[in-house]
Amino acid sequence: MLKVSNMDAYYGQSKVLEDISIEIKDGEFVTIIGANGAGKSTIMKCLMGIHNPSRGSIIYKGEDIAGMNAWERAEHGIGYIPEGRRVFSKMTVEENLLVGAYTVKDKIKIKRNLERCYEIFPRLKERRNQKSKTMSGGEQQMLAISRALMIEPELLLIDEISMGLMPLLVTHSINLIKKLHKEGMTVLLVEQNAKKALEASDRGYVLETGRITMEDSSSLLKENEAVIKAYLGA
């Protein structure tokens, strides 16, 4: 479904991604684990068209999307949950969800997706008219996930679902993503919480200072000594 080849990226003079090649097959749940500052968010921003790679190709469903902006990528079925959730704080819950559907023209589809989000998270329905800045961190996470679901994505890009959430909410969020994956969604999750990410996913990549250093099934990565030492603790 997605094939990234030989991608480099810079911020100014500083090279933060080097020769990144990753592949995600239709229906897979893939993770990229890595430490703070390894370049995980930058990969996601390049995939979503928010940051421009200096080299490499991004092929999505057989089409080169490297020249498309974020809007066009969403129209092609790529959903994105950014790091730190980034909900529109002055807007209500429902306004946030409707903004999430900005590329969807069909009003019936928008209504259906809105109802589906409210079905998954009844808390959001109760609070549909509440300004999102007054929501708790966990509620904002529900909103960020729901906002991405408003386009019915085929590929969902998730940047650090665990960030700033208490362990129980991390488990809830990951379980929800697993459920969406079981229902057919292809998922790419970048995570610092390697344990949770490797438990949930089929396959994983290890990113170290902008380079992919390992790739394997998640079950084998979990047992790999170097991964255990660097990312999973003793």
What is the smallest separation between the CB atom of 84 and ligand ATP, expressed in angstroms?
A: 9
Residue 11 or 102: the one with the smaller Cβ distance to ligand ATP is 11
Q: Give the footprint of ligand ATP on this chain (CB under 6 A).
A: 11, 16, 34, 36-42, 83, 192
Q: What's the min distance (Å) between Cβ of 69 and ligand ATP?
A: 18
Rounded least distance, CB 164 to ligand ATP, Å:
11
The amino acid sitting at 7 is: M
Question: With respect to ligand ATP, which residue has the nearer C-beta, 21 or 192?
Answer: 192
Min separation Cβ 105 and ligand ATP, Å: 33
Pick between residue 32 and residue 93 the one whose CB is nearest to ligand ATP.
32
Q: Which is nearer to ligand ATP, 43 or 145 (CB)?
A: 43
